[in-house]
């Protein structure tokens, strides 16, 4: 997202924020990296659908490889077993 043109960043950020909110709804505030990975493994089509709803006039913001991956990465940092790039043991 950092390399996106400035005029596209607001829509991208809005979509990523919406996906993060949906991740919070689906996983809650306490989750593990495995739970997040399992959700990602089930597919990210829902992220594309959400992106089209949040930014209907910004098709560049519907690319799951960009917005879903960014949202999952940001949300990963809140996993209870995440420790700055490595997983902690319970």
Tens-place pLDDT, residues 3-44:
889 999 999 999 999 999 999 999 988 999 999 999 999 999
Query: Does the pLDDT value for residue 85 go beyond 70?
Result: no
Q: What is the pTM of this model?
A: 0.88
User: Predicted confidence band at 90 (pLDDT cuts at 50, 70, 90)?
Assistant: low
Picking from 69, 76, 88, the residue whose alpha carbon sits closest to that of residue 24 is 76
| Residue 47 and residue 67 in contact, taking contact as beta carbons nearer than 8 Å | yes
| Residue 38 and residue 85 in contact, taking contact as beta carbons nearer than 8 Å | no
What angle, rounded to 10 degrees, do the helices at 6-27 and 64-76 form? 50
Phi, psi for residue 2 in degrees, rounded to 5: -60, -30
Tens-place pLDDT, residues 50-67:
999 999 999 999 999 999
User: Predicted confidence band at 89 (pLDDT cuts at 50, 70, 90)?
Assistant: low
d(CA 64, CA 71): 10
Find the helix or strand (DSSP H, E) in which 49 lies: helix 45-54
């Amino acid at each position: 997202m950092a390399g996106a043109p400035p005029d596209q960043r607001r829509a991208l950020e809005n979509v990523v924020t919406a996906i993060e909110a949906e991740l919070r709804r689906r996983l809650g505030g306490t989750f593990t990296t495995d739970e997040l990975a399992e959700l990602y493994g089930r597919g990210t089509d829902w992220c594309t659908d959400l992106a089209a709803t949040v930014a209907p006039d910004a098709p560049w913001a519907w690319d799951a490889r960009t917005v879903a991956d960014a949202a999952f990465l940001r949300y990963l940092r809140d996993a209870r077993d995440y420790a700055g790039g490595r997983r902690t043991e319970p």
